[in-house]
């Protein structure tokens, strides 16, 4: 018996988007990234919760905290999606930050009233991997946050 590959077995989408530091662009970027995931039949939970919430949080952090809504600064988004996983990298032009030091357990009693730190907590709960890199290694300033989600 031979296995017949699915028609989209080799289907892969890569996209790159460069946006101003303006939260008005978040929804459009989320839609651009979700579309190929939907085409590859990622499950409804991932399409309606994991991807939009984690990506929205990462984008808002880059715009609000990294770039401080400076209209002269940009946010770059790179996404690769195939049948196995989605990998999204969000780059800002802000100061370096420590991912672990800025992640707070939103369910901890000491943090229930806090408004900060929830975005990183949510990203880590909704994605299979969340990593931060310096973009300064290639001469740039800023941060790159990589979100990885394995297709369920």
Could you report the per-residue pLDDT of 27-67, keeping only the tens digit for each?
999 999 999 999 999 999 999 999 999 999 999 999 999 99
Residue 60 CA: distances (Å) to CA of 3, 22, 102, 114: 44, 9, 15, 17
Mean pLDDT of 104-111: 54
> For residues 83 and 62, what is the distance between their CA atoms, to the nearest angstrom?
28
* Tokens 């978040």, located at residue: 26
Q: Is 123 part of any domain?
A: yes
Give yes or no for residue 17 having a pLDDT over 80.
yes
Q: Is 1 part of any domain?
A: no
pTM of the entire predicted model: 0.83
Q: Is 51 part of any domain?
A: yes
Q: Is 44 part of any domain?
A: yes
Q: Is 4 part of any domain?
A: no
Q: Is 112 part of any domain?
A: yes
Q: Given pLDDT bands bounded at 50, 70 and 90, which one contains residue 112?
A: very low
67-86: burial string, b at 16+ Cβ within 10 Å, e else: beeeeebbbbbbbbbbeeeb
Mean pLDDT of 1-24: 80
Q: Residue 61: which domain range? A: 13-150
pLDDT per position as a tens digit, 57-105: 999 999 999 999 999 999 999 999 999 999 999 999 988 765 555 555 5
User: What CATH number does residue 125 fall under?
Assistant: 3.30.565.10
Q: Is 56 part of any domain?
A: yes
Question: How many domains, the chain?
Answer: 1
């Amino acid at each position: 018996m031979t296995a017949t590959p699915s028609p989209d077995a080799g289907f892969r989408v890569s996209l790159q988007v460069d946006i101003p530091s303006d939260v008005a662009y978040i929804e459009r970027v989320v839609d651009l990234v979700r579309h190929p995931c939907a085409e590859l039949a990622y499950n409804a939970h991932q399409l309606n919760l994991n991807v939009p919430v984690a990506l929205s949080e990462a984008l808002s952090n880059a715009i609000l905290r990294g770039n401080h809504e400076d209209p002269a600064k940009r946010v770059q988004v790179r996404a690769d999606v195939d049948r196995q996983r989605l990998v999204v990298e969000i780059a800002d032009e802000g100061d370096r930050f420590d991912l672990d030091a800025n992640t707070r357990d939103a369910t901890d009693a000491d943090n229930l009233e806090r408004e900060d730190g929830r975005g990183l907590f949510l990203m880590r709960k909704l994605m299979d991997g969340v990593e931060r890199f310096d973009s300064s290694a290639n001469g740039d300033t800023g941060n790159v946050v990589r979100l990885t989600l394995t297709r369920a």
